[in-house]
Structure 1
């Protein structure tokens, strides 16, 4: 059960039972709502309907029915009319003796034509009420029924029933009835008088219950009202009809213009509107039922759950049937994504899907207008608001528009800027909590499965839980590296992004162990396939590691502790990562560490930055001496970093010696082939390009400072003419040779 159920719960209602009434004490309510069926007993009453039902039962028992009575229970679909009827019946049965009162239930839904309905109605009366009458009165009842149906269909129906072995006692004596009907010339008035006298002479009261009349076709509903009217003024017969008066009046008006309500008033002596369910009862029933599906909600998520529940869910709940519909939908869909989505978000969207399907479809179709941070700043706000109103609220009644707008603002904070002029800068919690407003998790809410190989909640939790175990993070990241995504790249990039959003969940005592693992695997997981492509390509796994470091260390620890953490973890870092880290800290130190004005804030003190810079130089020299530097794919980038630390001369002496190596030449040739993207922009009447253009060219000029370019080109030709290189090296060198040189004029356009 929800921890917050008590927080939202009102004072419990007292269920006081009269001492002289034989009622069953209420049992614990069953919140596992399933089929949309009416309740059968007082113990199932979750909406306080018992008092109303008991009052109606008392009225039926105490009212004079010398000339018959017709009660009507009025309420919209789903409001609990059938449940009220059942509770009325239970109270009647528990209070009156069987010899004093009998309940006759007639279900008009079982019959598909007015003739069959009429036949079945009178057969039901004959088989129940008729048992208390003499033969003359039973014949009178049959005669009245015959006058309300054409002779042909009625006789055909009786013949069909007689031919059915299952008809049994319900049509016993049917043959003699047909004979009497075909030769009867007695007036209905006389037969009615015979029936009245017979019913008045016997002491028993009959309660005839007809439910869901408003769900019949127009002709069938009219026939029911005609039947009740024809025998409604019979002594000791009380009819209890359940229907939506508004719908019934509209159906009647189709046949009798303007006579809908007046027609009903002529039939019904006592009409009662079903009391609206208490909002608190609906709320408690929904909360309790949903809690069985969700389980406990963490304390830190209770406020969001409450906001969505009261602004996005409860305004859509009007009747007990609404509770059933939502819980049934939620209980079938939520288990498929439990743990992968935010429960409150999912419940709100399910409520929207069930009760506001047009809004739900608009949400599903427009993630770019809803997720992430605002992109509308600077645009004409009236035009932006008009666009959002048209997309998400078009065609809704005013009250429904207000509900939909509040729901959308709760689910998608970005919309606060559209409808409330409040701007959000973004929140890492959206990703961490897997909210629908997160671009990474939006699709999961509608596909009922993880999309694009996303990191599952189980995998995410394992990364956090094992952060303090030496080697665990490294092992998992390398596993993700081997798992390719359907749309390109590896899942290692997704894992890093997930860790960024959950950095605050990593225990402080686990940070050093966690970072040692991350630093050690940094070079291995910085693969080219995880580099974003296109004009806006800024992210790669190296950049993601810097973002992760910001969240894990910079945002959580004071400067002196940051220095301790870096000194403890940096020695385990890969070569490229330690160089990248040292450059970042050295740049911040050179810029004076102006945190308020500099993009490169002072992460660590100047002494630690200088220590790391020297450490990275030592690592570069060691790699150059043991031959591992030549094997690296980012060789040329590292050469420039080496030059920055030790000067051109040291690097140039090493590269001059390495030009004799085919592997070194191939590495430089590979790096010299560049790829860029360009895209013609729209404006001033031009459509622009729908997709960017890929540009591939050779650009060796930047290397002239650290490499003898003329000798390098000569070596490329020598190696291509020799048989002493591998197929892969030949492929790289030939690509370099065949790719055009960079055209400065073209690239500047």
Structure 2
């Protein structure tokens, strides 16, 4: 709980210092409240809206009073402790008497306390009629029962309020010490209680050498008086309060000191190291909008309570700057925050979902909700509206009409920003969704700070593959010395997984294989960002378990060399070394038939053919010489291409294969097979050999385009 604010005011001490430079202001008021002998009652008010620091100023005044006059008597009255509004005056006088006796601890104070108690007892049998001066009309339990009885009339004569008050005044005068009565938070009382406090100060307790220090929101007090049929509320307050003082404006520098203190307490700068540019973006959001929105100490403390909690829940999963912005929205405009939470598509262009893909255009969703977004600003001041819009448009750039951004990034996900729906989901739900992984887990995986294979098993079991690959791609640049270990374990686990096999077998009709393609993109990015590409590539090409990826690596090497790319992975003279490494590995894997699916086997064979047609030709000839290996031969060469209509097809009777195998002999051997007893994809391959042409693997139909 020490990390959260309890809405407690400062004390003006080293632990809770005056960061808003109000000590001098408080000293002047303390001098005014320190009345001299025979001074009449004085009432001073500190006025300001909720959270502006009124109670903190009162604490500073109390410190100054004790330094100005050690004997001064400070009486603090908390009207919240009163039982009922009708007993508030009596309760005040009783508290006054108790504190007076305790703080003065003299015979004179004891006598004054007794007179106060006697005075207060009158209010236990009578109550003041709201709206009338106390001396003008008294109605009480005794008064309501008055008849012709002489005894009852005698009882009424005891209600000598003026006489009792005079005795209190005389007793207090004999103490001859200044008394300061502090009544804080008047604006938190009910209208009836608030009105009773004002009447108390005006007519019940205006004793000699006694000053009152009141604090309230003047707008609320004016509203209360209006409800009690006071025609000119401000003039009425002026009759009661002789000196009305507004809370000093909090300077920008003063508020910045509070911000700096809170940032240091939460170690914010340290926590911005996770995502690149986060600290600079945080400063930008602060200067551009935030400092104009949080303008009172209470708002700042409420904000940091929310921000601190949010940060503790999802630290490292969402950039600090955007969590900062979300907390500001929650504190200053909760209807907008709730709208973001209930209707995220209005801000990011799509529903937040980890399981479904929305094909609707984001721009359309953003446009459709423009009116709803605007409506949520209703009720805000023009200043708050202006700066909240700036803040919201900065973190949700799709809704901004200005395409310019000081902090543009290529990937909002990699930057941890809530403009990416999955990051917004985490921020709004304060947790990582089930079946997902976090940036920290992925980084720990990269650095080997967790057991990698166990973690990947968890990813596979919980179907967190998509998010795992997304985050691994985001953090590919930090792999470096860990690149080989990361790619080897990831490639090995996925290529040998039943999930990969099932996906390849079930998706013959699709152009893409999700897991395989994600592996390929991961390998490409990690290699591209590695500082020693040749060493990494050679190690990867030497791994049998990564043979399908070796083919993909060679394709990229050749393409970059052919295109004279500035991002060449290796020099041209090193290509033969790579070819020899892969030739040895590919042939070993094919001969031992260790892979999970024929599609992967086919990819390895194409890689072998790319580096050595002669070795590929010898391998096929060996299979062709063994009738029992014909089906294996077909699956080794039968995944030749794909289109967007029906997916993968076999195109075996082509010029390319005529260079690698005796097509006449292959056709003769294949004709011996009972095609109808074979799986559909094998039937397509048989037709391609026997009839020539392309046949789709999903249904063995002929390619007709």
User: Would you call these one fold, judging by a TM-score over 0.5?
Assistant: yes
Matches of 1:356 and 1:321, distance apart in 2:
15
Which deviates more, 347-356 or 387-396?
A: 387-396
Summarize the Cα distance change of 1:313–1:709 in structure 2 as closer, same or farther, 3 Å threshold: farther
1:356 aligns with 2:329: no
Provide the secondary structure at the position in 2 that maps to 1:449.
coil
Question: Displacement of 1:228 after TM fit?
Answer: 1.4
Superposition pairs of residues 391-406 of structure 1, within 5 angstroms: 393=377, 396-406=380-390
Superposition pairs of residues 312-711 of structure 1, within 5 angstroms: 313-368=290-345, 370=347, 386=370, 389-390=373-374, 393=377, 396-414=380-398, 418-421=401-404, 426-428=409-411, 430-466=412-448, 476=452, 479-481=455-457, 483-484=459-460, 486=462, 488=463, 491=465, 494-507=467-480, 523-524=495-496, 527-528=500-501, 538=512, 540-555=514-529, 562-563=533-534, 565-567=536-538, 569-572=540-543, 574-589=546-561, 592-593=562-563, 595=565, 602-609=568-575, 612-613=578-579, 616-617=582-583, 619-628=585-594, 632=598, 634-638=600-604, 646=613, 653=621, 656-657=624-625, 660-661=628-629, 664=632, 702-705=651-654, 708=667, 711=670
Summarize the Cα distance change of 1:316–1:635 in structure 2 as closer, same or farther, 3 Å threshold: same
Which deviates more, 544-553 or 356-365?
A: 544-553
8 Å CA contact 2:125, 2:141 repeated in 1: yes
1:224 aligns with 2:197: yes
**Which residue in 2 is equivalent to 1:45?**
17
8 Å CA contact 2:225, 2:233 repeated in 1: yes
**Which residue in 2 is equivalent to 1:122?**
93
- Match among 196, 199, 203 for residue 176 of structure 2: 203
Question: Displacement of 1:289 after TM fit?
Answer: 2.8
**Which residue in 1 is equivalent to 2:62?**
89
Matches of 2:510 and 2:295, distance apart in 1:
49
Question: Displacement of 1:248 after TM fit?
Answer: 0.4
Matches of 2:334 and 2:324, distance apart in 1:
14
Which deviates more, 114-123 or 58-67?
A: 58-67
1:304 aligns with 2:257: no
Summarize the Cα distance change of 1:255–1:394 in structure 2 as closer, same or farther, 3 Å threshold: closer
Matches of 2:300 and 2:52, distance apart in 1:
11
Question: Displacement of 1:207 after TM fit?
Answer: 1.9
Question: Displacement of 1:268 after TM fit?
Answer: 0.8
**Which residue in 1 is equivalent to 2:684?**
none
8 Å CA contact 2:330, 2:337 repeated in 1: yes
1:113 aligns with 2:92: no
Matches of 2:118 and 2:502, distance apart in 1:
90
Summarize the Cα distance change of 1:594–1:317 in structure 2 as closer, same or farther, 3 Å threshold: same
8 Å CA contact 2:47, 2:218 repeated in 1: yes
Question: Displacement of 1:267 after TM fit?
Answer: 0.7
- Kindly provide the CA deviation profile for residues 188-215 of structure 1, in whole angstroms up to 9, marking residues without a partner as x: 5566556555555552332222111111
8 Å CA contact 2:346, 2:369 repeated in 1: no
Matches of 2:399 and 2:572, distance apart in 1:
43
**Which residue in 2 is equivalent to 1:162?**
none
**Which residue in 1 is equivalent to 2:134?**
none
Summarize the Cα distance change of 1:335–1:716 in structure 2 as closer, same or farther, 3 Å threshold: same
Which deviates more, 42-51 or 106-115?
A: 42-51
8 Å CA contact 1:554, 1:562 repeated in 2: yes
**Which residue in 1 is equivalent to 2:241?**
268
Structure 2 unaligned regions, length at least 5: 101-108, 130-137, 144-150, 351-358, 658-665, 680-694
Question: Displacement of 1:332 after TM fit?
Answer: 3.4
Matches of 2:153 and 2:571, distance apart in 1:
111
TM-score of the aligned structures, taking structure 2 as reference length: 0.74
Matches of 2:83 and 2:507, distance apart in 1:
65
Aligned residues between the structures: 638
Question: Displacement of 1:37 after TM fit?
Answer: 2.3
**Which residue in 2 is equivalent to 1:253?**
226
Provide the secondary structure at the position in 2 that maps to 1:83.
helix
Summarize the Cα distance change of 1:712–1:323 in structure 2 as closer, same or farther, 3 Å threshold: farther
Matches of 1:740 and 1:618, distance apart in 2:
35
Superposition pairs of residues 713-724 of structure 1, within 5 angstroms: 714-717=673-676
- Kindly provide the CA deviation profile for residues 76-118 of structure 1, in whole angstroms up to 9, marking residues without a partner as x: 11222223223323332343344xx322222111224332112
Provide the secondary structure at the position in 2 that maps to 1:72.
strand
- Kindly provide the CA deviation profile for residues 645-691 of structure 1, in whole angstroms up to 9, marking residues without a partner as x: 6399767645645653597399689979x99999xxxxxxxxxxxxx
Matches of 1:616 and 1:402, distance apart in 2:
62
Matches of 2:323 and 2:530, distance apart in 1:
31
Summarize the Cα distance change of 1:521–1:197 in structure 2 as closer, same or farther, 3 Å threshold: closer
Provide the secondary structure at the position in 1 that maps to 2:89.
helix
Summarize the Cα distance change of 1:201–1:317 in structure 2 as closer, same or farther, 3 Å threshold: same
8 Å CA contact 1:141, 1:192 repeated in 2: no
Matches of 1:142 and 1:315, distance apart in 2:
52
Summarize the Cα distance change of 1:146–1:64 in structure 2 as closer, same or farther, 3 Å threshold: farther
- Kindly provide the CA deviation profile for residues 278-335 of structure 1, in whole angstroms up to 9, marking residues without a partner as x: 3333332233234333465267643223223334543332222223222333333432
**Which residue in 2 is equivalent to 1:11?**
none
Matches of 1:205 and 1:496, distance apart in 2:
74
8 Å CA contact 1:586, 1:610 repeated in 2: no
- Kindly provide the CA deviation profile for residues 375-397 of structure 1, in whole angstroms up to 9, marking residues without a partner as x: 99997999589468538756644
- Kindly provide the CA deviation profile for residues 668-723 of structure 1, in whole angstroms up to 9, marking residues without a partner as x: 89979x99999xxxxxxxxxxxxxxxx8x9x8653455664993794354679xxx
Summarize the Cα distance change of 1:352–1:105 in structure 2 as closer, same or farther, 3 Å threshold: same
Matches of 1:103 and 1:144, distance apart in 2:
24
Superposition pairs of residues 126-205 of structure 1, within 5 angstroms: 127=98, 131-133=110-112, 143=122, 148-149=127-128, 182-184=155-157, 196=169, 199-200=172-173, 203-205=176-178
Summarize the Cα distance change of 1:135–1:513 in structure 2 as closer, same or farther, 3 Å threshold: closer
8 Å CA contact 1:359, 1:392 repeated in 2: yes
Summarize the Cα distance change of 1:610–1:656 in structure 2 as closer, same or farther, 3 Å threshold: same
Summarize the Cα distance change of 1:216–1:501 in structure 2 as closer, same or farther, 3 Å threshold: same
Question: Displacement of 1:480 after TM fit?
Answer: 0.3
Which deviates more, 641-650 or 347-356?
A: 641-650
Provide the secondary structure at the position in 1 that maps to 2:51.
coil
8 Å CA contact 1:703, 1:709 repeated in 2: no
